[in-house]
Amino acid sequence: MITSRDGTTVVPASAPVPGSPPSRSLTMRRRRSLWGEVWRWGVTLFWFCAAALIIAGVVLVFAIYRQARTDQARPAEAIVVLGTAQYNGWPGPVFQARLDRAITLWQEGYAPVLVVTGGKMPDDEYTEAEAALAYLTEAGVPPEAIVAEYAAGDTWESMLGIVPLLQPLGIDEVIVVSDGFHLFRSRLMARDVGLQAWGSPAETSPIRTGGGGELSYVLREAAAVVAHLWQTRVGPVTGSALMPSDVGTLAAPFS
């Protein structure tokens, strides 16, 4: 012991004894194996990816909601109406709402050409495009102002089908008319086939923006967006593209 000037007694620390075992914390650090490090970083990466996917999903759902509530109508070269259910050659309520919105835009001079799309189900006698053509002409739209695509079974096929019809007319700027929740994916697909597209929602559709069932439509639509991105971006690179039937299954409720 050592006594300082103020009378305080100081006990010097004992020197480590040669050959004594290392402390517990040092031993645990030394015992951490390579596989332990791999596991630790693997778990960290897993949770990081999970958080990133959740954030991306929230952003996508928000983007779909925002597009559904945004009317981007502006002067363009054509108005594209995406087909949906028809009954015996006449559009169903949802389809009528889309066509009514397109007629309003056409009458207000936003574009001189109306484009309708849609094939038919196996047991149907008429295509969706034929039903749309009948509805538009009865509303006073001249047949020469209408371009029809009669074979598409979903939104992606509609976009692929209208390109060869519009190119000879020099049309590459369009207003896409559909239900609000469907516009984000529709515009994405239109851009993928080389069209500059703006969206205009059919606000009188039975599938109303802000309605009780909107969330379920938006969530399924988000899944369809992911399927399309996989098919067109990831699949071609990895060689694991979805089969057309798989994409059609996801997209069918929203065509």
Angle at 124 between CA 193 and CA 254, to 5 degrees: 40
**Would you list the domain boundaries of the chain?**
68-254
- DSSP letter, residue 223: H
Burial environment of residue 34 by CB neighbours within 10 A (0 to 12, 13 to 18, 19 or more): exposed
State in words which class domain 68-254 has.
Answer: alpha beta
User: Residue 63 and residue 57: Cα distance in Å, rounded?
Assistant: 10
Model pLDDT, residue 101: 98
**What string of pLDDT tens digits covers the 255 residues of the chain?**
555 555 555 555 555 555 555 555 544 555 567 888 888 888 889 999 999 989 989 999 999 999 999 999 999 999 999 999 999 999 999 999 999 999 999 999 999 999 999 999 888 999 999 999 999 999 999 999 999 999 999 999 999 999 999 999 999 999 999 999 999 999 999 999 999 999 999 999 998 777 778 889 999 999 999 999 999 988 777 765 544 444 343 334 344
